Amino acid sequence: MYTLLIADDEPLIRNGVKKIIDWESLGFSKIFLAEDGQEALDIIKKNHVDLVLTDIVMPFMDGLQLAEILSRDYPQIHVVILTGHEDFEYAQKSVGFGVKNYILKPIGAESLYKKMVKICENLHIENKQRQYVSSIKSQLHQSLPALQEQTLSKIVCSEGRDLKLYLQRAKSMNLDLGTGPFEIGIMDIELEDIPAEDYDLYLFAARNIARECLGDKHYLFEDGRDRIVILFKCDTLSDESHEIVYELLCIVQKSIYNTIKLKTTCGAGTTARNAEELNEAYRNAKKALECKYSLGSNNVYDVKDLNYLEKSFYYPENEMHSLVKSIKIGNTDEIRKSISSAFHTDGRGRSLSGKNIKMIYIEIVTSLLKELSSLKEVSEKIWNRGFILYQEFDRYSSAKEMEDALIRFSCEICNEMDSVQTNSGKQVIDSVKGYVTANFKDPDLSLTSAAEHASVSTGYLSGLFKKETGTNFVKYLTDVRMEKSIQLLRTTDMKTYEIAFETGFSNPHYFSVAFKKYTGMSPSEFRAKE
């Protein structure tokens, strides 16, 4: 609904315009009346007004003066001039004041209504446009911090980007990257012990704490890996500035831990003299983070600290062989020992570099997946878990966390191997039982022929059969033959020797002995009883 103000020094015209039109049907809920421009302006200052109908010639302040003030101070108000024929040329001067419509007096009710319908249509369109623009501006204002962070992330963290383009974007977003020097710090937040649903909460809290510690001079954003990147704007290119940045990172790291008990590891890179060197400084800060794998997490490391780590390449060949062997035999204690030993030292008691640790991690994952590939049937879940391990290196804050993850996965493989072997064993026994059912009439049926049928060794089948059925193969075969002979004695007139041959006994006498042992009666006694 809109608000109307009618300004005219003639009461008859003022009140007449108000009464002769059904303003409510046009969308107006409230109408103000003013005798001159000054009174109209006073009303506007105290009330929301959408449309002003004003005469030109009025005392104290005329319509043109009012229109000029409204165009300057209240540009959203739609102004319509009420003018006589003699004042029309004079009224045209109001074009410069944003007046878009004129109504010539005198005018009838019908004509006035038609003109107002068109004017109100335009008013509606303008208001819709104004609301849309206002909404867009509001959205842009709300989105500006996120857009700033995205731009900073592209400039600092991305290689091969159009740096010139993003620097222009940064300037349009009031990001001051025109002059250096700059320093880059990275906070790697340890969220492993935090429930997944609380990740964003803790990350938000950590950012707020960092912001409180650093103030508004420096920029904070994320690099897409739950790491907070800090772009420090330095006053001078000096070692002193670098030391100040290091101390600031220490303050932030300790403040986060003391406030929300969240561990963070920080890395400080090299100094960037200008925006072009920001990505290199960021990459060096990431390298500094690699110290955590050897020296521990919840600390602040400078890229220079990498010089204190062993840079030679070490491959834990003995530990890898031991790991594979331990997995095959299912020795979980040896699995733990092999993996732990692989990460500790280079064999000469020296700490490994982050790159060397990453290589060992990937090699172990690869070896574990090779063991999985040797199995005929492997669950999709454990396969997926194996491939995910490739992607999780950056999530770990220490070599110990990597050890634990690999040990868990190795034990899962052992369990999977047991399961596959168990399932395979059941399949072998089911196949052998089916073979016996189909071939029990064959007097040459034996453990050996059954093993050949199942494509396993005689010794393996003998042990497996006992394990899965609780009895040995020979007794199982005899039981099947006896049950079939009992069925024939009950349902046919076949002779005893015929039944013997029918059930796989080549010697009728041995059949009778075996039958009496099984039932406590001879075949003839059993038939007579039945």
* pLDDT tens digits along 245-270: 889 999 999 999 999 988 888 999 88
Q: What's the angle, vertex CA 182, arms to CA 176 and CA 187, rounded to 5?
A: 105
Which of 316-327 are b and which e, b meaning 16 or more Cβ less than 10 Å from the residue's Cβ?
beebbebbbebb
CATH topology for the 440-529 domain: Arc Repressor Mutant, subunit A (1.10.10)
pLDDT (tens digit, 0 to 9) for every residue of the chain, 530 residues total? 889 999 999 998 889 889 888 888 888 999 999 999 999 999 999 999 999 999 888 898 988 889 889 988 998 888 888 877 555 566 566 555 667 677 777 777 788 888 888 888 888 888 888 888 878 877 767 778 888 888 999 999 988 778 889 989 888 888 888 787 999 999 988 877 788 888 889 888 999 999 999 888 899 998 877 789 999 988 777 778 888 888 999 999 999 999 998 888 899 988 899 989 999 999 999 888 888 877 777 889 888 777 666 556 677 788 888 888 787 767 788 888 888 888 776 555 556 777 777 788 888 888 888 877 766 666 777 778 878 887 777 677 677 788 888 888 888 887 776 665 555 678 788 889 999 999 999 999 999 899 888 877 777 788 888 888 889 999 999 999 999 999 998 999 899 899 999 999 988 889 999 999 998 999 888 888 86
Superfamily of domain 150-302: Reverse transcriptase/Diguanylate cyclase domain (3.30.70.270)
Q: Which residues contact 39 (CB under 8 A, 6 or more apart)?
A: 7, 60
Asked whether the beta carbons of 3 and 49 are under 8 A apart, the reply is yes
Name the CATH code of domain 2-107 (choices 3.40.50.880, 3.40.50.2300, 1.10.10.10, 3.30.70.2740). 3.40.50.2300
Residue owning tokens 């075996």: 514
SS3 for 27?
A: coil
Domain ranges of the chain: 2-107, 150-302, 317-420, 440-529
Q: What backbone torsions phi and psi does residue 87 show, to the nearest 5 degrees?
A: -100, 5
Angle, CA of 515, 521 and 525, to the nearest 5°:
110
DSSP symbols for 225-270: SSEEEEEEE-SSSSHHHHHHHHHHHHHHHHHHHHHH---EEEEE-P
**Which residue, 76, 88, 14, is CA-closest to 51?**
76
Phi then psi for residue 55, to 5 deg, are -75, 165
For residue 443, whether the previous peptide bond is cis, meaning omega lies within 30 degrees of 0, is no
| Sheet (strand 219-222) strand order | 219-222, 227-233, 182-189, 264-268, 300-302
Interatomic CA distance for residues 191 and 208, integer angstroms: 16
Q: Which residues does residue 80 pair with via DSSP β-bridges, in sequence order?
A: 53, 101
Interhelix angle 399-439/317-329, rounded to 10 degrees, is 40
The span from the CA of 305 to the CA of 512, in Å, is: 89
DSSP H helical ranges for 47-194: 63-73, 88-92, 109-157, 163-172
Enter the pTM of the model.
Answer: 0.48
